[in-house]
């Protein structure tokens, strides 16, 4: 069974072609600069290394056609014909309250996804375009939607409701939804397995730290709170997103500068966070380098980010009570040992102690690592995420008629003997 996993963004299309029976990636890659001059596809064929082909892609449909042609035609082909693809797994960022698990896409499901696109205007339109492009280019191939928000549908009302007029929830769905759900699901299940326990036997704090950042409180294997909210803007400081701020700030700046709502939205999502503080960098590697060279604003950005991460960890320690482990994952969480050290320093009174030597050694996208001190009451792990494997397992299980909601479904990576393959 061959599964094509797709992640459609506003200007990029990530993909992975996966041979399920052999647990093997046949090809993975990304089309970048969609709708922008100079677009190209960069891909890796299993065992043959990276390649890049430049080709103009005016929209998601053109990008998907380029992916399909690359997979199935010419010297780079890894399949002989498109009928070898058993299904397509589509990442959908926002499922609102309508979707608590992955589902087979039909007309009704697609319309339901469209009905909540206003909740994620930066993401869902691109996800929808990817689904419709696949329907056109692969009309006989079933598609499955995998939702970022589904994992967080176990949150109680006390965690997901905002203290705004209650009618807003009923009329417009204004509530906390949370994101990065497939990542939090994967690393929390892996962590339980590493600890030698079942998911319902552990309480965890999962920290997904990439350009976007979200923290998740996991009680007995279920999400009970998370830092991102109605949209991915809320929470800790991110690469270009502001995270938590006084809600009056946008109104204040509209009054002072005469901004339109769209301008404020763009500033808070694309020109704030680490980029806003430093004035020039959103990549933490650049910030670390400049901070080490004495750039005060970069040093300040590091301090602010660590402080916000630490505050969320502290709040979730209080919310959960007993915590078995804290998990770092995603790009910076997996590779940036300085960020981990800054955010964990000063938590020893809560039983959280980092081992600096172990932490500095844990900089791999492939290896899981324990980085807490031997006498730390709360374990600290670095666990590389694998969201696409969650996609693929959901798709396969739905095709085989054995899928259940994630609260009851057991994944292959929960097996104690599971070994992560190089992707």
Instruction: Tell me which residues are annotated as active site.
Output: 148
State the residue for tokens 């399909």: 68
Nearest CA-CA partner of 326 in 260, 381, 385: 381
Cα(335)–Cα(287) distance, integer angstroms: 14
In 66-182, the DSSP E strands lie at 85-92, 103-104, 143-147
- The radius of gyration of the chain's CA atoms, rounded to the nearest angstrom, is 21
The whole-angstrom separation of Cα 202 and Cα 222 is 10
Question: Residue 387 is encoded by which pair of tokens?
Answer: 């969201």
């Amino acid at each position: 069974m061959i599964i094509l996993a797709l992640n459609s963004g506003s200007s990029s299309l990530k993909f992975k072609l996966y041979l399920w029976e052999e647990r093997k990636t046949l090809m993975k890659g990304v089309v970048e600069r969609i709708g922008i001059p100079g677009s190209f596809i960069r891909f890796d064929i299993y065992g043959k290394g990276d390649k890049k082909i430049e080709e103009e892609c005016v929209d998601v449909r053109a990008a998907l056609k380029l992916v399909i042609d690359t997979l199935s035609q010419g010297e780079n082909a890894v399949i002989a014909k498109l009928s070898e693809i058993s299904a397509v797994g589509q990442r959908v960022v926002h499922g609102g309250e309508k979707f608590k698990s992955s589902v087979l896409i039909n007309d009704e499901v697609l319309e339901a996804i469209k009905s909540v696109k206003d909740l994620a205007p930066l993401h869902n339109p691109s996800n929808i375009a990817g689904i419709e492009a696949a329907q056109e280019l692969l009309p006989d191939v079933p598609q499955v939607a995998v939702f970022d928000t589904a994992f967080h549908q176990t949150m109680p009302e006390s965690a997901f409701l905002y203290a705004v007029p209650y009618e807003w929830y009923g009329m417009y769905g204004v509530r906390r939804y949370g994101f990065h759900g497939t990542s939090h699901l994967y690393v929390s299940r892996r962590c339980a397995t590493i600890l030698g326990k079942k998911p319902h036997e552990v309480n965890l704090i999962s920290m997904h730290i990439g350009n976007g950042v979200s923290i998740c409180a996991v009680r007995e294997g279920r999400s009970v709170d998370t830092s991102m909210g109605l949209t991915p803007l809320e929470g800790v400081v991110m690469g270009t997103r502001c995270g938590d701020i006084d809600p009056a700030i946008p109104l204040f700046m509209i009054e002072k500068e005469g901004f339109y709502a769209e301008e404020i939205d763009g500033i808070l999502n694309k020109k704030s966070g680490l980029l806003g503080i430093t004035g020039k960098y959103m990549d933490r590697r650049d910030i670390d380098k400049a901070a080490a060279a004495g750039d005060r604003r970069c040093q300040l950005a590091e301090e602010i980010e660590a402080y916000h991460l630490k505050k969320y960890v502290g709040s979730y320690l209080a919310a959960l009570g007993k915590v078995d482990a804290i998990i770092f994952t995603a790009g910076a969480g997996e590779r940036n040992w300085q960020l981990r050290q800054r955010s964990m320093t000063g938590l020893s009174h809560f039983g959280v102690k980092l081992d600096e030597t172990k932490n500095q050694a844990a900089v791999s996208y492939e290896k899981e690592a324990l980085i807490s001190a031997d006498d730390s009451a709360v374990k600290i792990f670095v666990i590389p995420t694998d969201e696409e494997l969650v996609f693929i397992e959901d798709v396969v299980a739905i095709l085989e008629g054995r899928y259940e909601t994630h609260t009851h479904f057991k994944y292959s990576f929960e097996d104690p003997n599971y070994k992560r393959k190089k992707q």
